[in-house]
């Protein structure tokens, strides 16, 4: 039975894969509950989005032929996006004003606080959507409120940063933007701008779930009262309530799914190490060399995703020498890989989407964070959720091959292996429960939808009275 129409939500993601995916998934969740969901994305990325029941509208970031790649300068790109995006987003909202389905709420990526101003000018409600963990959001929220000052010093005596509800954060656990604010000033400024007007938003959404970070959320609720609606992972891998929802419906790259899946079919259950560092991380040539030699030395089956731009960093002859035991591909469907019974371990950079995917699919992990919030995610993977291990760096900041082999063996067959696998299964069930009917995230989404529906009825009654 088709759900009753509950209103129209326009969703605006930052045009990067890790931001498009969760917002698009939220759009699909809303659509399944009777909401008309429209994604507004850049002209450059609009053709990459294909999702049933979700409308797609183009807006401009000022670089319509190539997006960020046309400038490569974060501050220039964001300024252009604000100027051009404000104008074109306004046009999209105006387009629907005299239609049967006017926009009732703009859900905007928290990187775009200006979108709230655009919504307000049209008399439309606004909701900020945060794509990091609640812990990382809480750290930046406390900085915004003055409870933590920049730069956050890493004490030589090993002293920790202590914030309400958050486990003590030591040097290797702290987002790199705030320990070295001069290293990525434009990114840090973007992170801090998320909170510039968040107090004026009608709702705050976060892609996490209550059972995953309960103390953190309680500790920051006064300054960041977020509704937790995650994990925003396709329904087929969790509750199965959205028919045919087997992928995000957006890919800026062409996945090589068939080759990967055919190769995996010939491997025993839980025998393969899956290695992927996402769409943005670039490892040093030395780290690539150590990874390659560790995979060979481990004598484990492995599937390694190496983007074409990174392939030259592989040791000469590595791909040929790996044949039989390993497969190197330029891209693949990560969800299908993680869900495959042959996968026994995931070596990851600990981006938040990848972290939610490994938790949702119950995959033991070797955590190798590279920058930003990934360090904090890695701490939780190893110490709090206990679904993996985090290799130690050598004096040059590299994970050497001996350390990598030790960690791979530990996760796949070592003393901690059974405990890690047991915890991975536990979090998989908790993630599934959160989005299933009556779960914590499902309730939060239903409350939002109900509010939209009530507001719509209220508007209709007011219109009738005025007539």
Q: What is the pLDDT of residue 182?
A: 87
- pLDDT of residue 12 exceeding 70, the answer is yes
Position 461 confidence tier, pLDDT thresholds 50, 70, 90? very low
* Cβ(428)–Cβ(361) below 8 Å: yes
Tokens for 55, please give them.
Answer: 């409308």
Domain count for the chain: 2
Q: Are residues 131 and 163 in the same domain?
A: yes
Q: Are residues 234 and 336 in the same domain?
A: no
Q: What is the pLDDT of residue 368?
A: 98
What average pLDDT does the segment 13-33 reach? 96
Residue 202 falls inside a structural domain:
yes
Q: Are residues 396 and 449 in the same domain?
A: no
Q: Are residues 61 and 167 in the same domain?
A: yes
pLDDT in tens, 370-411: 999 999 999 999 999 999 999 999 999 999 999 999 999 999
Task: Name the one residue in this structure whose structure tokens are 């469907």.
Answer: 333
Q: Are residues 126 and 269 in the same domain?
A: no
Catalytic residue among 61, 104, 109, 173: 109
Q: Report the 3 state secondary structure along the chain.
A: CCCCCCEEEEEECCCCHHHHHHHHHHHHHHHHCCEEEEEEEECCCHHHECCCCEEEEEECCCCCCCHHHHCCCHHHHHHHHHHHHHHHHHHHHHHCCCCCCCCCEEEEECCCCHHHHHHHHCCCEEEEEECCCHHHHHHHHHHHCCCCCCCCCCCCCCCCEEECCEEEECHHHCCHHHHCCCCCHHHHHHHHHCCCCHHHCCEEEECCCCCCCHHHHHHHCCCCCCEECCCCCCHHHCCCCCCCCCCCCECCCCCCHHHHHHHHHCCCCCCEEEEECCCCCCCCHHHHHHHHHHHHHHCCEEEEECCHHHHHHCCCCHHHHHCCCEEEECCCCHHHHHHCCCEEEEEECCCHHHHHHHHHHCCCEEECCCCCCHHHHHHHHHHHCCCEECCCCCCCCCCCHHHHHHHHHHHHHCCCHHHHHHHHHHHHHHHHHHHCCCCHHHHHHHHHHHHHHHHHHHHHHHHHHHC
Question: Which neighbouring-strand residues pair with 461?
Answer: none
Q: What is the pLDDT of residue 183?
A: 84
What average pLDDT does the segment 225-230 reach? 98
Q: Are residues 200 and 321 in the same domain?
A: no
* Cβ(8)–Cβ(36) below 8 Å: yes
Q: What is the pLDDT of residue 1?
A: 47
Q: Are residues 193 and 311 in the same domain?
A: no
Catalytic residue among 8, 19, 144, 340: 19
- pLDDT of residue 254 exceeding 70, the answer is no
Q: Are residues 368 and 414 in the same domain?
A: yes
Q: What is the pLDDT of residue 176?
A: 87
Residue 1 falls inside a structural domain:
no
191 CB contacts (<8 Å, ≥6 apart)?
Answer: 140, 177
- pLDDT of residue 464 exceeding 80, the answer is no
Active site residue 19: yes
Residue 321 falls inside a structural domain:
yes
CA distance 291 to 404: 7
What average pLDDT does the segment 86-111 reach? 97
CATH code for the domain in which residue 361 is found:
3.40.50.2000
Active site residue 50: no
Residue 163 belongs to domain spanning: 7-249+437-466
Position 152 confidence tier, pLDDT thresholds 50, 70, 90? confident
Position 456 confidence tier, pLDDT thresholds 50, 70, 90? low
Position 311 confidence tier, pLDDT thresholds 50, 70, 90? very high
The phi, psi pair for 137, rounded to 5°, reads: -60, -40
Q: What is the pLDDT of residue 181?
A: 86
Q: What is the mean pLDDT of the chain?
A: 93
The reported pTM is: 0.95
* Residue whose C-alpha is closest to residue 416's, from 381, 374, 455: 381
What average pLDDT does the segment 408-428 reach? 97
Q: Are residues 317 and 451 in the same domain?
A: no
Residue 294 falls inside a structural domain:
yes
pLDDT in tens, 186-226: 889 999 999 999 999 999 999 999 999 999 999 999 999 99
Q: What is the pLDDT of residue 463?
A: 55
Residue 54 falls inside a structural domain:
yes
Residue 2 falls inside a structural domain:
no
- CA neighbours closer than 13 Å in the CB half-sphere of residue 424: 26
Q: Are residues 360 and 283 in the same domain?
A: yes
pLDDT in tens, 255-264: 556 788 889 9
pLDDT in tens, 318-342: 999 898 899 999 988 899 999 999 9
Q: Are residues 337 and 222 in the same domain?
A: no
User: Where is average pLDDT lowest: 178-187, 267-276, 285-294?
Assistant: 178-187
Q: Which residue has the higher pLDDT, 466 or 344?
A: 344
Q: Are residues 281 and 415 in the same domain?
A: yes
């Amino acid at each position: 039975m088709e759900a009753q129409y509950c209103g129209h939500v326009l969703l605006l993601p930052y045009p990067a894969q890790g931001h498009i995916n969760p917002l698009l998934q939220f759009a699909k969740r809303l659509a399944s509950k009777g909401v008309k969901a429209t994604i507004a994305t850049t002209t450059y990325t609009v053709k990459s989005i294909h999702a049933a029941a979700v409308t797609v509208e183009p807006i401009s970031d000022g670089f319509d032929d190539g997006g960020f790649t046309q400038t490569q300068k974060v501050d220039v790109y964001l300024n252009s996006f604000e100027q051009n995006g404000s104008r074109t987003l306004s046009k999209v909202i105006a387009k629907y004003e005299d239609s049967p389905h006017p926009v009732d709420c703009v859900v905007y990526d928290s990187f775009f606080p200006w979108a709230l101003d655009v919504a307000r000018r049209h008399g439309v409600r606004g909701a900020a959507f945060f794509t990091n963990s609640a812990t990382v959001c809480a750290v930046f929220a406390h900085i915004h409120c003055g409870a933590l000052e920049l730069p956050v010093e890493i004490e030589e005596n090993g002293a920790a940063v202590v914030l309400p509800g958050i486990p003590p954060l030591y040097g290797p656990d702290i987002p790199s933007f705030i320990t070295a604010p001069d290293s990525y000033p434009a990114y840090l400024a973007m992170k801090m701008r998320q909170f510039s007007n968040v107090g004026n938003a009608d709702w705050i959404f976060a892609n996490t779930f209550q059972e995953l970070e309960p103390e953190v959320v309680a500790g920051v609720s006064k300054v960041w009262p977020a509704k937790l609606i995650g994990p925003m992972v396709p329904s087929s891998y969790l509750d199965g309530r959205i028919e045919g929802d087997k992928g995000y419906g957006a890919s800026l790259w062409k996945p090589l799914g068939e080759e990967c899946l055919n190769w995996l079919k010939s491997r025993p259950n839980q025998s393969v190490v899956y290695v992927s560092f996402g769409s943005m991380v670039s490892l040093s040539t030395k780290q690539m060399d150590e990874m390659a030699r560790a995979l060979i030395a481990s004598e484990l089956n492995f599937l390694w995703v190496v983007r074409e731009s990174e392939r030259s960093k592989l040791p000469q002859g590595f791909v040929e020498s790996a044949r039989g035991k390993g497969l190197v591909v330029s891209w693949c469907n990560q969800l299908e890989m993680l869900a495959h019974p042959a996968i026994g371990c995931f070596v990851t950079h600990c981006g938040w989407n990848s972290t939610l995917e490994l938790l949702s699919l119950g995959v033991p992990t070797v955590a190798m964070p590279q920058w930003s919030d990934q360090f904090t995610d890695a701490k939780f993977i190893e110490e709090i959720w206990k679904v993996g291990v985090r290799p130690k760096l050598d004096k040059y900041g590299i994970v050497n091959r001996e350390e990598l082999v030790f960690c791979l063996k530990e996760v796949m067959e070592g003393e901690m292996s059974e405990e890690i696998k047991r915890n991975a299964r536990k979090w998989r069930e908790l993630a599934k429960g959160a989005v299933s009917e009556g779960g914590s995230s499902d309730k939060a989404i239903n409350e939002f939808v109900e509010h939209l529906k009530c507001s719509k009825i209220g508007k209709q009654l007011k219109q009738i009275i005025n007539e």
